Chain A
Amino acid sequence: MTDSFESILDESISALQAGIPIEEVLAEVPDYAGQLRPLLYAAMLVADPNPQLLPDERKEALRAQYLAQAATLPPVTPTIAEKVEAVFRIIRRRLTRKAVLSDLITITVTVFLTLLMSALILSFAAADTLPGDWLYGLKRVSEEVRLALTFNQADRLALEENFNQERIAEIEALTQQNRAAVVQFRGTLDAREESLWIVEGFTILLPDDVAIQGEPQEGDRVEVMGLLRTSNVLIAETIKKIDQR
């Protein structure tokens, strides 16, 4: 008898078990119907679709007897070698391609979410900081990130202006608190004397070593970087003429 007949027999049994009538199953393989018929009837007649259940009381009694015997088993203390083997067995089981991929995804997502949450919390905490505060650098970095992610030119210019207004507000806050710090802002050069300029309403002292770029004139936009002293005097380090927009 060939293996193919055994396979046909098994496929026919599967069809029978799926509820297909025996004559329909046989009609699918007419060449083998004569051989299959008695075998399929035998398979059908020996099938037990509704197995009898043991009464619960009897089953419970047998279970109790078994558990009483199980309770007499002494506890097993694994040796160190068995413990090590158990650990390796768990690792081997976890080292399937699917499990490794799943672990990598979980770790990546967890790390990403942790970093994102930390960044959001710190950015929130840094929002009201002033130059010289320990989280101020983060405030400036988050502003740079927002600028880098703004691709529309008009939106980018509006955002730059917002940030510059924030710089000016910071200098006003530092002045009120009489705090010294390195500051940077942009504004219009309102007036200029030899060593004293007025930019955006702030008075700026120009020491001998100040670096001036672009020969700015009154009415020009300039970027000023310098040291705000506790005496509320702003001493310029660099002044740079910037393009009119």
Chain B
Amino acid sequence: MEDEASLLERVQRHDQQALAEVHDRYFDQLYHYLNYRLQDPDVAADLAGEVFLALIQALKRGSPPKTSLTGWLYAVARNLAADHIKKKVTTVPLIDDLVSDEPSLTDQAYLAQLAPTLRQALHQLTDEQQHVITLRFGQGLSLAETAVILDKSVGAVKALQHRALASLARFMPVEVDYDG
């Protein structure tokens, strides 16, 4: 497969084949990213389409991605997701409110009940924390890959990941000493 730098060079030259390849290579992962964050397949599909149209607009303006095509596409997707989430404020009940009897983390049925609520709770995190959680656990990217997309060091991503999980853990029925 052609490396990203060569593909980006061809995109900057408005090469039609390269532009088609960008869609084929990145659409699914950006759609998964948006669907994970928004939990709405229809909106995720629309916004994924908008990410690519934004690329065409950027090329028309003469301000194409300069260094990282992946980073640029994810940055647009992240902004679109954040804008959409702002418009749609949701409140998430604490997990304890969902069950009447004593919860246990080893109870599989209880865990199955926890998962969708915890996904909703993602929206309570900062945009940057949501971005990291989505890339690491929604997309399954490594720390290094996440760091490249965020344009941050691996250490910074580790710290963000920790804070995000600690925030999410607040919705779990156990005490979390996330400040150490």
Give Cα distance in the complex from A107 to B44, angstroms.
52
The residues in A between 39 and 92 inclusive whose CB is less than 8 angstroms from any CB of B are: 39, 41-43, 45-48, 51-54, 58-59, 62-63, 65-67, 69-76, 78, 86, 89
| B148 CB-CB contact with A under 8 Å | no
Q: Which residues 139-180 in B have Cβ within 8 Å of A in the complex? A: 140, 143, 155, 158-159, 161-162, 165-166, 168-169, 171-172, 174-180
Distance in Å: Cβ of B26 to nearest Cβ of chain A: 11
**B36–A48 CB distance below 8 A:** yes
The answer to whether A118 has its CB under 8 Å from any CB of chain B is no
The residue in chain B whose Cβ has the minimal distance to the Cβ of A22 is: B105
Report B1-24 residues with CB < 8 Å from chain A CB: 9, 12-14, 16, 19-20, 23-24
Q: Are A1 and B122 in contact (CB under 8 A)?
A: no
Interface contact B174-A38, CB-CB below 8 Å: yes
Please classify the interface of chain B as helix (H, G, I), strand (E, B), loop, or mixed, using the class held by over half of its residues: helix
Interface residue tally for chain A (C-beta within 8 Å): 44
**B residues lining the A interface (CB < 8 Å):** 9, 12-14, 16, 19-20, 23-24, 27-28, 31-32, 35-36, 41, 44-45, 48-49, 52-53, 56, 59-60, 105, 111, 114-115, 118-119, 122, 133, 136-138, 140, 143, 155, 158-159, 161-162, 165-166, 168-169, 171-172, 174-180
**Chain A interfacial positions (CB closer than 8 Å to B):** 1-3, 5-7, 9-10, 13, 17, 34-35, 37-39, 41-43, 45-48, 51-54, 58-59, 62-63, 65-67, 69-76, 78, 86, 89
